[in-house]
Amino acid sequence: MRVLRRGDAGPDVAEIRSTLAAMELLPPVTESGEYEFYDTAMEHAVRAFQQRRGLITDGLVGPATYQALRGAGYHLGSRPLTYMFSAPMQGDDVFALQERLTELGFDAGRPDGHFGAQTERALKTFQRDMRLVADGMCGPATIRELHRLSSPRARGGRPVFLREQEQVRQAGPRLRGKRIVIDPGHGGEDLGVVAGDLREADIAWDLARRLEGRMQATGMEALISRGPNQSPTEGERAKFANESGADLFLSLHNDRNPSPKAQGVASFHFGTGNGTTSTVGELLAGFIQRELAARTGMRDCRTHYKTWEIFTRTRCPAVRIEIGYLTNPEDSARLADPAFRDIVAEGILVAVKRLYLLGEGDQPTGTFTFADVLAHELAKAE
């Protein structure tokens, strides 16, 4: 689909306006012609929806926002749900089903609104336990059982994310043997942000190689998600991480802004804003954010939850780091310096080490060095 923005008009705009009005983000339209015009009020409504859903708040209706808007029109029970391999069903009803199954103790995986194989397995197990036909289809009979068990006494915590935490604890403080996928953003013909001689794809690739070398020196298995001339989709990057059996996924990017004054570093993790969040992803994003802000002196733009595809499709904890604005003269000058990129790579490595230390023998933010990490690994090996 084409990206819709303020000033556009037509039936596609009318569809989006109708959806936003149904969600009470826009008032009901009284004149039919208004439905087909993307005005300022509609842009504000789109931004509000994007912020609520953990999407990029740009006021544009691209594929991700359009998909989320369409999915928001479904509630659990409004249509039969089943697993389709070629085109998985998506929507708020799928998300609600995954959350409900998880709360009842059935492992539907990370709630992401995509009806995949793991959701089908959890649904079939639930159906068998409820003595229903275990056909993997969430129809009226299954919905009735889910509603019957909707008492607060039947609700639990967030077992998917508790399992993430337990896996980190059991993995121990050593980095040796941990498998990390490093994901340099963009690539190939997709250069990302371009500012003068600096290209986001090149910076991300260089940072990935520097981080890869440091991780391998500690005994970690570091895998890069793409080649220097490749530009896989977010789904393909997530698939690579899943098939690799990654313990963590680190995505490296730079940012842009129409204002040259925008600057700083920010980190992102999976979260929906309604209490569903990757606890390990949030913890790692916090470690990375604090280390980079302390070591580089860049403006601290904090950590944020998002529902980007790279988060919903990866099975392991994932973090995306926006390292500076190439549209800011100060940030771009720093990122052009290879020595500065070394500082960034060291900060990310130390943050990963802090995650697995879980407070054991920790040191103040910004003081732990690559040499300290190596020394700790050697000490644990003896």
Asked whether the predicted pLDDT for residue 260 surpasses 60, the reply is: yes
Asked whether the predicted pLDDT for residue 157 surpasses 60, the reply is: no
Asked whether the predicted pLDDT for residue 111 surpasses 90, the reply is: no
Window from 46-55, 271-280, 320-329 with minimum mean pLDDT: 271-280
In order of start, what are the domains of the chain with their CATH numbers? 8-73 (1.10.101), 81-157 (1.10.101.10), 173-380 (3.40.630.40)
Asked whether the predicted pLDDT for residue 154 surpasses 50, the reply is: no
In this prediction the pTM is 0.81
Asked whether the predicted pLDDT for residue 184 surpasses 90, the reply is: yes
Residue 275 is predicted with a pLDDT of 66
Stretch 209-217: mean pLDDT: 96
**Dist CA 324 CA 57 (whole Å):** 18
Task: Give CA separation, 379 vs 214, 352, 355, in Å.
Answer: 18, 18, 18
Residue 159 is predicted with a pLDDT of 60
Confidence of residue 172 (pLDDT cuts 50, 70, 90): confident
Residue 156 is predicted with a pLDDT of 43
Residue 103 is predicted with a pLDDT of 82
Strand order in the sheet with 300-306: 221-224, 179-184, 248-255, 318-325, 265-270, 300-306
Window from 51-60, 204-213, 284-293, 296-305 with minimum mean pLDDT: 51-60
Window from 73-87, 116-130, 165-179, 262-276 with minimum mean pLDDT: 165-179
Asked whether the predicted pLDDT for residue 360 surpasses 80, the reply is: no
Contact 356, 175 (CB under 8 A): yes
Question: What is the token pair recorded at 230?
Answer: 């490749």
- Residue 165 or 349, more confident: 349
> Could you tell me what percent of the chain has a pLDDT over 70?
92
Asked whether the predicted pLDDT for residue 122 surpasses 90, the reply is: yes
Which amino acid would we find at residue 340?
F
Instruction: Find tokens 């896996």 and name the residue.
Output: 167
Asked whether the predicted pLDDT for residue 153 surpasses 60, the reply is: no
Termini Cα distance of the chain: 58
Asked whether the predicted pLDDT for residue 222 surpasses 50, the reply is: yes
Task: Give CA separation, 241 vs 235, 285, 379, in Å.
Answer: 10, 18, 30
Confidence of residue 147 (pLDDT cuts 50, 70, 90): confident
- Residue 380 or 290, more confident: 290
Stretch 200-217: mean pLDDT: 97
Asked whether the predicted pLDDT for residue 290 surpasses 60, the reply is: yes
Residue 162 is predicted with a pLDDT of 67
The overall average pLDDT reported for the chain is 89
